[in-house]
Amino acid sequence: QVQLVQSGAEVKKPGASLKVSCKASGYTFTNYAMHWVRQAPGQRLEWMGWIHGGNGNTKYSQRFQDRVTISRDTSASTAYMELRGLRSGDTAIYYCARKMRSYWYFDYWGQGTLITVSS
C-alpha cells in the first residue's frame, strides 16, 4: 500500500534552515509528483511547491520561491523540502502529498512534520 513517511518534529531558531524528508513506498516514485503543503496552527492549508519524481522539475509558490528548495533522491524514493531564513511565522505542520496522475488533487499524504521556530 502507498505510504509517505516524514521525518520527525524539530525545533529551530530564527534564521536557521529546515529540511524535511518524505520517504515514499508502495508505488513507483518516479511516476508521480510530490507536493509540499504546510499548515500553521489553526490556519488554512498552504501550498508550497512540487517536484516531479521522474525528471526532477520543480515549481514553487511565489510566496516561498526565494526561500524554498524541493529535491528528491530517486534511489531512496524520498523527497525533501528545505526552507531557509526561518521566522516565527514558519511554525507549522509540513506535509508531503502525492499528486494523483490524471488530476490535480492529492491522493496520499504524509503524517506531517511539526516545525517550531523559537528563540
Partner 1 sequence: SYVLTQPPSVSVAPGQTARITCGGDNFGSKSVHWYQQRPGQAPGVVVYDDSDRPSGIPERFSGSNSGNTATLTISRVEAGDEADYYCQVWDSSRDHVLFGGGTKLTVV
Contacting positions for partner 1 (CB under 8 A): 35, 37, 44-47, 50, 59, 61-62, 95, 100, 103-107, 109-112
Minimum Å gap between C-beta 113 and partner 1 is 11
CB nearer to partner 1: give 17 or 25: 25
Buried b (16+ CB within 10 A) or exposed e, 63-92: ebeebbbbebeeeebbbbbebeebeeebbb
CB nearer to partner 1: give 16 or 61: 61
Minimum Å gap between C-beta 109 and partner 1 is 4
CB nearer to partner 1: give 13 or 101: 101
> 71 near 50, Cβ under 8 Å?
no
Q: Is 110 exposed, middle or buried (0-12, 13-18, 19+ CB in 10 A)?
A: buried
Minimum Å gap between C-beta 89 and partner 1 is 17
Minimum Å gap between C-beta 95 and partner 1 is 6
